[in-house]
Structure formats: C-alpha cells, structure tokens
C-alpha cells in the first residue's frame, strides 16, 4: 500500500474481501510489533488506515475525470447494468426457482428403458438376460400406487410423477456363452445345490444383479440403478428347484 493507484486499489479491495485474512494480519501485526496500543485500538487504527487508503485511491482516479463531464456510456453499462441485473436476480430469483418456469420442477417422464440381469457367483459374472423393448409406459393409477405400500423410496412422491414400465418377457438376443464359462457356471450351481440339499454351509456367494437404465425427456444422461439379491434371498432358494 505504498502507492495509491487503480491496480493497488483493486488488489487491496480483493484482499479485504477475503474472509478473516485482514483480521489475521491485524492480529499478527499487533502481536509481533512493539506498540503502546491495545488490540482494539490497533484494530481501529488499521480500519482507519484502510479507509483512508481506499479514499486516496478513489480520489486519484477521480482526478482523471473532468469536473462536469458526463460519465462514459461503457462505465454506465458495466456498473449500472450489473447492479440492475443483480437486483433483479435477488428479487425474482427465488420466485423463478420455485415457479413452473424452472425445468427441474416439471415432470421428467421416462421415455425408454433397458434391463440387464446377471448372475454373480463369487467374483465371476454371467450375463443371462438383456432387453430394451418396452411393452408399455403408463402413469400409475390410484390402485397401482396404493399397491406399492409404504415404500421409503416413494415417501413424499406425487402420484402424478410415478410411471409403470412393462418390459418384454423375452430377451433381445439369444443367450450365448462360451463352453468353458458354461461349464464353470454349471459346476458352481451344482456345488451350491449339493451344499443346500445336504444342509452344509454354502461357500459361494450368489448375487442376482438387475441393472435398469432409464432414459428421460429432460435429462440427457442415463440413470443406472443396481439391485442385488444376496445371501438368503428367494433366488437362492429357487436354485433348489433346478435340475
């Protein structure tokens, strides 16, 4: 702050705008400087000095402006335009956020869906079903919405935003798996069935993984949701019915 000009004025203003930096420097100066002032007097001294320095910078910048000359149009646009836009955003911004003009508050319907079902045994994953053909996408009726019960995922959700997606029963492609992988899958299932029938502890971890991807109108991204069936889920019990 040895020189007062536009650059030092901007730099000092930015320095004062940083939270707690001015206070920390003031406390450190008072702590390590030999002075007869107490801390609060030193703080007042720093505030007075800062105010005088900023006033000096503004006075120097005003000397470049001729007395009685109109303010330049560019300066009015920059300062006045930013101030007007800022006030409009402060006043009407909250209203726009919660109004129907906000695209994030409108219903974002699902337009497409794909599902993939896989079987994971320990660290090995086998893809057994995939489909992207949708039979129907309809809004949930009162009866359908009530049938969902008190699921936590639907707590506070408006019924008009809930859709029911019906997928095709058949896969889009034939199940194609290499012979070694098929042998490994059959061997793992046989070991699991033997352990379950004999009452022994099943060493393999069996997960049925269903992956859903939803394509929505507004969002360009695809949301992926994973469902896992682990440990003593009904799927593991259904393995007993396999031959």
pLDDT digits (tens, 9 = 90+) for 165-192: 888 888 888 888 888 888 888 888 888 8
The DSSP call for residue 103 is G
pLDDT in tens, 17-45: 899 999 999 999 999 999 999 999 999 99
Q: In what side-by-side order are the strands of the sheet with 222-229? A: 124-131, 110-121, 206-216, 222-229
Residues 6+ positions from 81 with CB-CB distance below 8 Å? none
Q: Phi and psi at residue 76, in whole multiples of 5°?
A: -65, -40
Mean pLDDT across the chain: 79
Of 210, 211, 221, 212, which Cα lies nearest the Cα of 108? 221
CA dihedral 218, 219, 220, 226 (to 10 degrees): -140
Range 155-167 burial, b when 16+ CB lie within 10 A, else e: eeeeeeeebeeee
The Cα–Cα gap between 208 and 227 comes to 8
End-to-end CA distance of the chain: 87
Contact 128, 118 (CB under 8 A): yes
pLDDT at 1: 61
pLDDT at 103: 63
pLDDT at 139: 86
Taking the domains of the chain in order of start, what are their residue ranges?
A: 1-68, 70-106, 110-133+168-241, 134-167
Model confidence at 150, pLDDT cuts 50, 70, 90, reads low
Helix (H, G, I), strand (E, B) or coil at 235: helix
Q: Reduce the secondary structure of 125-167 to three states and give it as a string.
A: EEEEEEECCEEEEEECCHHHHHHCCCCHHHCCCCHHHCEEEEE
pTM of the complete model: 0.47
């Amino acid at each position: 702050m040895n020189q007062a000009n536009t650059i030092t004025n901007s730099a000092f203003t930015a320095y004062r705008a940083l939270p707690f930096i001015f206070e920390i420097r003031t406390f450190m100066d008072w702590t390590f400087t030999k002075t007869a002032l107490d801390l609060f007097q030193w703080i007042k001294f720093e505030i007075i000095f800062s105010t005088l320095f900023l006033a000096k910078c503004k006075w120097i910048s005003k000397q470049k402006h001729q007395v009685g000359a109109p303010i330049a149009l560019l300066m009015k646009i920059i300062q006045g335009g930013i101030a007007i836009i800022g006030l409009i955003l402060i006043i009407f911004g909250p209203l726009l956020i919660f109004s129907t003009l906000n695209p994030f508050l409108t219903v974002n319907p699902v337009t497409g869906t794909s599902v993939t079902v896989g079987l994971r045994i320990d660290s090995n994953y086998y893809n057994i079903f995939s489909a992207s053909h949708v039979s129907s996408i309809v809004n949930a009726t009162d009866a359908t919405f009530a049938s969902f019960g008190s699921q936590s995922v639907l707590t506070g959700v408006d019924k008009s935003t809930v859709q029911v997606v019906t997928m095709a029963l058949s896969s889009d492609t034939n199940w194609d798996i290499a012979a070694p992988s098929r042998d490994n899958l059959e061997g793992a299932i046989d070991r699991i069935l033997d352990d379950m029938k004999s009452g022994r502890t099943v060493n393999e971890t069996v997960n049925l993984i269903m992956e859903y991807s939803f394509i929505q109108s507004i969002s360009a991204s695809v949301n992926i949701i994973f469902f896992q069936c682990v440990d003593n889920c009904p799927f593991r019990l259904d393995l007993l019915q396999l031959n």
